[in-house]
Amino acid sequence: MKKQQAPKRQRLRPTPLMDISDEYIFEQSIAQTIDQSIAQTMDQSIAQTMDQSLVSALSENSYSLIQEQNDEYERCLKADIEIQIRRQEEQELCWIQEQSWIEEIDRKRESIRNEPPTGGINILFRIHIADKDRNIKIMRRFHTDDTVKTLYDFIEVQTFIAMDMQIEIYTNRPRNLLLRSSKSLQEEMHGVANMMLYVECKKEES
Three-class SS of 142-179? EECCCEHHHHHHHHHHHHCCCCCEEEEEEECCCCCEEC
Average pLDDT rounded to a whole number, residues 135-156: 92
Is the pLDDT score of 16 beyond 70?
A: no
What is the pTM (predicted TM-score) of this model?
0.58
CB 193 within 8 A of CB 151: no
pLDDT tens-digit map of 67-85 = 888 888 888 988 999 999 9
Tell me the CA distances in angstroms from 80 to 73, 75, 87, 129, 174, one per residue in order: 10, 9, 10, 44, 57
Residue 32 lies in a domain: yes
For residue 168, the domain's CATH number is: 3.10.20.90
Mean pLDDT of the chain: 78
Encoded amino acid at 22, one letter: D
Judgement on whether residues 38 and 59 belong to the same structural domain of the protein: yes
* Residue 40: Cβ-neighbour burial (10 angstroms; 0-12, 13-18, 19+): exposed
What pLDDT shows up at residue 203?
Answer: 75
Are 178 and 151 contacting, i.e. CB atoms less than 8 angstroms apart?
yes
Q: Is the per-residue pLDDT at 17 higher than 50?
A: no
What's the whole-number mean pLDDT along residues 171-184? 89
Instruction: Please list the residues that pair with 167 across neighbouring strands.
Output: 201
Q: What is the pLDDT of residues 30-46, one digit of tens each?
A: 666 666 666 666 666 66
pLDDT mean over 117-138: 83
| Same domain membership, residue 161 and residue 96 | no
> Does 8 score more than 70 pLDDT?
no
Boundary (domain end) residue, out of 76, 110, 144: 110
Q: Is residue 115 part of a domain?
A: no
Mean pLDDT throughout 38-61? 64
